[in-house]
Amino acid sequence: MVAAIPMSAPALPLVSVLIPAFNHERFIERCLDSVLEDPYPAKELVIIDDGSTDGTAARIDAWIARHRHEIPVEYVYRDNRGIAATLNELAARARGEFLRLGASDDYLLPGGLAAMVDYLSAHARKWAVIGDSMVVDQDGRKLHESGMRDLHRADKRLYASDEGIRLAVITQWAIGGPVALVRKRALETVAGWSESLRIDDWDFFLRLAAHDAIGFIDVNVCAYRIHGTNLSRTRDGRARVLNLLEAQNVAMRRECLFQEPYRTLLRAQSHYLGAKIAFLQRRFASVAVHMVVYLSLVATSRIKLRTALHLAEGA
């Protein structure tokens, strides 16, 4: 009798964890430690220090010296080019089938990689999956259990369908921290990150949502850290206006990617952002004009959505 030869388990897909680092000497080691702490075995680290002027680079060097035998690491230090250019370079250097987007002031939570890989492996038409985040302060103390629900006041039920995700990405951007896993080949279609932008994530996910390419798992996959230098949460009035102007331009530029009623809804969002800008600039008459147009467009989009649903039911 010949003994059966055991079948070897299929190799797990390689995940490239991308870390764009900039002036986070206090947080970078916790970020890198968390990659090792996640039990998913098939992973590599790709790190670019985008011209840090503090001790971030030295801490990365010391961490790699301690752990280079535990995980494959590629590390580059270079002059500052901005977050979008850094993400594009990180993706180009990555060898993995999947790209885990990281941030040097946040950290991964154990089990997140496997949960996200399992989702994309089971949903071939999805190009990316997002999870939720736990929110912590600068000392790592928990502030919120759910970044989406407690920090951004998002309705997670929207994320159960393509239509809901499209609606959520357009009207209530609730992604806090590095919560995404992306298929590397998806970047060929959506053309990576727009290097003209200071805050790139909404634009990137709008382009994914236009293809119904985003999935969601209700799992905390990272800890999102709130501290005094978060770019997207600045209290500086001029910086807030610049961020909002950038988002408004993104909304207007990406309208053409969507069919109705989502195109009208994105146009409405550009006026809502315009109202915020006008408020910060104390142009209160413009606030009123933008809000009237915003409410009118939202009402129009709802009528178009009901019409589309009625036609679909009758087909």
pLDDT tens digits, 172-230? 887 878 899 999 999 988 878 998 888 888 999 999 999 999 999 999 999 999 987 66
Q: Domain 15-229: give its CATH code.
A: 3.90.550.10
Contact 177, 103 (CB under 8 A): yes
Least confident of 120-134, 152-166, 217-231, 296-310: 296-310
Domain range annotation of the chain? 15-229, 234-314
pLDDT > 70: percent of the chain: 92
- pLDDT band for position 20 (50/70/90)? very high
The 10s digit of each residue's pLDDT in 39-54 is 999 999 999 999 999 9
What are residue 49's DSSP bridge partners?
A: 21, 77
pLDDT at 314: 55
| pLDDT tier for residue 5 given thresholds of 50, 70 and 90 | very low
Q: In the structure encoding, which two tokens stand for residue 237, read together? A: 């009035």
DSSP states of 86-149: HHHHHHHH---SEEEE--TTSEE-TTHHHHHHHHHHH-TT-SEEEEEEEEE-TTS-EEES-III
Parallel, antiparallel or unpaired: strands 43-50 and 73-78: parallel
Return the residue matching tokens 């999102």: 224
Mean pLDDT for 107-134 is 97
The pLDDT of residue 37 is above 60: yes
Token pair for 276: 């915020």
Taking each helix axis as running N to C, give the angle between helix 262-280 and helix 162-171, from 0 to 180 degrees, rounded to the nearest 10: 20
Q: How far is CA 285 from its chain centroid?
A: 35
pLDDT score at 139: 93
Tell me what pLDDT residue 43 has: 98
pLDDT tens per residue, range 254-284 = 999 999 999 999 999 999 999 999 999 999 9
Q: How many residues does the chain have?
A: 315
Q: What are phi and psi of 169, to 5 degrees?
A: -65, -35
Query: What integer best gives the mean pLDDT of the chain?
Result: 91
Q: Is 218 helix (H, G, I), strand (E, B) or coil?
A: strand
Model confidence at 7, pLDDT cuts 50, 70, 90, reads very low
Region 5-29 average pLDDT: 85
Residue 308 has pLDDT above 90, yes or no: no
Residue 113 pLDDT? 98
In this prediction, residue 2 carries a pLDDT of 37
pLDDT tens, position by position, 70-111: 999 999 999 999 999 999 999 999 999 999 999 999 999 999
